[in-house]
């Protein structure tokens, strides 16, 4: 069963003067255990795509099934339940809660999941150990390096044992050595069976994924299937160099 199945999903942003189609009839299937990278230029719709996949934003038409469940028209509470139980988020700017220490940051999704205190403690210690930060359990985010903060974010994403991890430019704010560490960590997570969809504009980062998808003007192009014809079209339409 696919983890993620989108069919003809469309999302537009409207102002009084203009309508911008951020997602243009996107269809995509991601199987369980895949590591997919979505890349594309700025404004191509990558973040909108990730927000829709993560149920952080709505869409106008099409269908979206997550882990076999149609999530196209859920209530706010149902969406929150699915975000909490099935999706882990890793953001470019880490998005740790600055007032909470590492333990409490990882605890947040577990609290919303309604786990018992003992179960939460076990999971937090396990996930923080997995990202190698046990010694920093009671440090605030401001006391951690960027790489360490992203590790905490990954621990937080893993804590709920999600079916799908959505990573939005997870190495965007990191130096190259730390970025490699984070990518290696994501690989480990993927190897353990968790599906990962990662948005990135960095080709080097995208190359870590087993499957690369390109996004342009709100459309998805599966590089594995369509790259030759896309490249040909881009060559034809490119202006001549003077």
Any contact of residue 231 with another protein (CB under 8 A)?
no
Any contact of residue 58 with another protein (CB under 8 A)?
yes
**Residues in Cβ contact with 220 at an 8 Å cutoff, skipping those fewer than 6 apart:** 26, 27, 28, 38, 49, 213, 214
Q: What is d(CA 41, CA 46) in angstroms, rounded to the nearest whole number?
A: 8
Q: How far is the CB of 162 from another protein (least distance, A)?
A: 11
Among residues 113, 216, 221, 222, the one that binds another protein under rule CB under 8 A: 113
139 neighbors 105 (Cβ within 8 angstroms): no
Any contact of residue 100 with another protein (CB under 8 A)?
yes
Any contact of residue 137 with another protein (CB under 8 A)?
no
Token couple for 155:
């621990």
From the list 13-21, 110-118, 170-178, 205-213, the region that binds another protein by CB under 8 A is: 110-118
213 neighbors 223 (Cβ within 8 angstroms): yes
Any contact of residue 19 with another protein (CB under 8 A)?
no
Residues 138-157 as x/- pattern, contact with another protein by CB under 8 A = ------------------x-
Specify the 3-state DSSP secondary structure of 240.
coil
Helices H / strands E in the chain, number of each: 8, 10
Q: How far is the CB of 112 from another protein (least distance, A)?
A: 4
Any contact of residue 3 with another protein (CB under 8 A)?
no
Backbone angles phi, psi at 229, to 5 degrees: -70, -35
From the list 60-68, 81-89, 207-215, 224-232, the region that binds another protein by CB under 8 A is: 81-89
Q: What is d(CA 216, CA 233) in angstroms, rounded to the nearest whole number?
A: 13
Any contact of residue 108 with another protein (CB under 8 A)?
yes
Q: How far is the CB of 75 from another protein (least distance, A)?
A: 9
Among residues 19, 77, 177, 236, the one that binds another protein under rule CB under 8 A: 77
DSSP result, 145-210? -HHHHHHHHHHHHHHT--SEEEEESTTTTS-HHHHHHHHHHHHHHHHTT-EEEEE-S-HHHHTTSS
Among residues 80, 129, 210, 232, the one that binds another protein under rule CB under 8 A: 80
- Which residue(s) pair with 87 in the sheet? 164
191 neighbors 184 (Cβ within 8 angstroms): no
Any contact of residue 85 with another protein (CB under 8 A)?
yes
Any contact of residue 83 with another protein (CB under 8 A)?
yes
Binding site for another protein (CB under 8 A): 48, 51, 54, 56-58, 76-77, 79-81, 83-85, 89, 91, 93, 95-100, 108-109, 111-114, 156, 160
């Amino acid at each position: 069963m696919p983890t993620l199945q989108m069919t003809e999903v469309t999302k537009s942003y409207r102002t009084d003067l203009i309508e911008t189609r951020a997602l243009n009839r996107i269809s995509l299937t991601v199987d369980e255990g895949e590591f997919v990278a979505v890349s594309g230029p700025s404004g191509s719709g990558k973040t909108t795509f990730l927000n829709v996949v993560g149920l952080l934003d709505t869409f106008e038409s099409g269908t979206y099934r997550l882990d076999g469940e149609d999530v196209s028209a859920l209530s706010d509470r149902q969406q929150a339940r699915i975000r909490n139980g099935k999706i882990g988020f890793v953001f470019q700017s880490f998005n740790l809660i600055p007032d909470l220490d590492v333990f409490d940051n990882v605890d947040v999704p577990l609290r919303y999941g309604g786990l018992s205190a003992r179960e939460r403690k076990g999971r937090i210690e396990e996930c923080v150990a997995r990202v190698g930060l046990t010694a920093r359990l009671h440090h605030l985010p401001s006391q951690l390096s960027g790489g360490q903060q992203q590790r905490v974010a990954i621990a937080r994403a893993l804590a709920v044992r999600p079916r799908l991890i959505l990573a939005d430019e997870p190495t965007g704010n990191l130096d190259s050595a730390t970025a490699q560490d984070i990518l290696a960590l994501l690989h480990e997570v993927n190897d353990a069976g968790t599906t990962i969809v990662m948005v990135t504009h960095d080709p080097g980062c995208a190359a870590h994924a087993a499957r690369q998808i390109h996004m342009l003007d709100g459309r998805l192009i599966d590089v594995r299937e369509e790259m030759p014809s896309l490249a040909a079209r881009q060559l034809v339409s490119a202006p001549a160099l003077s």
